Chain A
Amino acid sequence: QKEVEQDPGPLSVPEGAIVSLNCTYSNSAFQYFMWYRQYSRKGPELLMYTYSSGNKEDGRFTAQVDKSSKYISLFIRDSQPSDSATYLCAMFIYNQGGKLIFGQGTELSVKP
């Protein structure tokens, strides 16, 4: 079993929809949780990171962490065609170096 599980999709939504992307993890020692966006044939782009349980908002994006359930989410409001990309969750344990553990990525398509 992988340490971080993410539904690969693909997920297709109409423009303006609210998108929910999710990851589950098995290692309760994970402390930091990141969301990256990756366009086709490009490197991942850091969207947000969170440390504690709860919500963190940045524009149309909200990251949610529930450590008791080992579950994290990224919500995208008013989705746009330019949001079409693969979304990767990542996490790590702070005092164990800088190794990020990534999920498989969810492919999102926002249709005009």
Chain B
Amino acid sequence: DTGVSQDPRHKITKRGQNVTFRCDPISEHNRLYWYRQTLGQGPEFLTYFQNEAQLEKSRLLSDRFSAERPKGSFSTLEIQRTEQGDSAMYLCASSLAGAVYEQYFGPGTRLTVT
């Protein structure tokens, strides 16, 4: 059973550095989502893709954030010039386009910006 995988699981970086996270969705899922979760809060939506097309971006996704899904399979989320406020758990989820109510999450990447 191959669920959603994310890499790395943990990332510690210094303020100002760039970081990139990877998400591999469930293989037959054509929708892929990114969320961010801070301590004691529920996940907040960042962006989502259907195949390779990025269809929606949240206002939370500042210009320093960019996400790609180049071949409609895995996705990357890059944060440029990291700030301490970027410290959070970055979660990836996937679903079928016709079953958006069944989003399956990966284990997340925990980012700490020092």
Q: Do A and B bind each other?
A: yes
Indicate with 1 or 0, residue by residue over B70-114, a CB within 8 angstroms of chain A CB atoms: 000000000000000000000100010000111111111010000
Q: B101 to A43, Cβ gap below 8 A?
A: no
- The distance in angstroms between the C-alpha atoms of A41 and B88, with both chains bound, is 11
Interface residues on B, range: 20 to 34
Within 8 A of B (CB), among A57-112: 88, 90, 92, 94, 97-105
Q: A100 to B102, Cβ gap below 8 A?
A: no
Of all chain B residues, which has the CB nearest A2?
B42
On chain B, the residues within 8 Å of A43 by CB distance are 4, 91, 105-108
Q: A92 to B101, Cβ gap below 8 A?
A: yes
On chain A, the residues within 8 Å of B107 by CB distance are 42-43
Q: B108 to A34, Cβ gap below 8 A?
A: no
Q: B110 to A8, Cβ gap below 8 A?
A: no
Indicate with 1 or 0, residue by residue over B33-68, a CB within 8 angstroms of chain A CB atoms: 101000011111100100000011010000000000
Is A45's CB within 8 Å of the partner chain B?
Answer: yes
Contacting residue for A100 out of B40, B43, B106, B110, CB 8 A: B43
Contacting residue for B44 out of A8, A34, A102, CB 8 A: A102
Interface residues on A, range: 20 to 34
Contacting residue for A32 out of B31, B44, B101, B108, CB 8 A: B101
On chain A, the residues within 8 Å of B105 by CB distance are 36, 43-46
B75 to chain A, nearest CB (A): 14
User: What are 12 sample pairs from A and B whose C-beta atoms fall under 8 A apart?
Assistant: A34-B103, A42-B107, A43-B108, A46-B105, A49-B101, A94-B100, A98-B48, A102-B43, A104-B41, A104-B42, A105-B41, A105-B42
Which B residues lie at the A interface, using CB under 8 A? 4, 31, 33, 35, 40-45, 48, 55-56, 58, 91, 95, 100-108, 110
Beyond A34-B103, A49-B102, A105-B42, list 11 extra A-B contacts (CB 8 Å): A32-B101, A34-B101, A43-B91, A44-B91, A44-B105, A98-B33, A99-B48, A100-B35, A100-B43, A105-B40, A105-B41
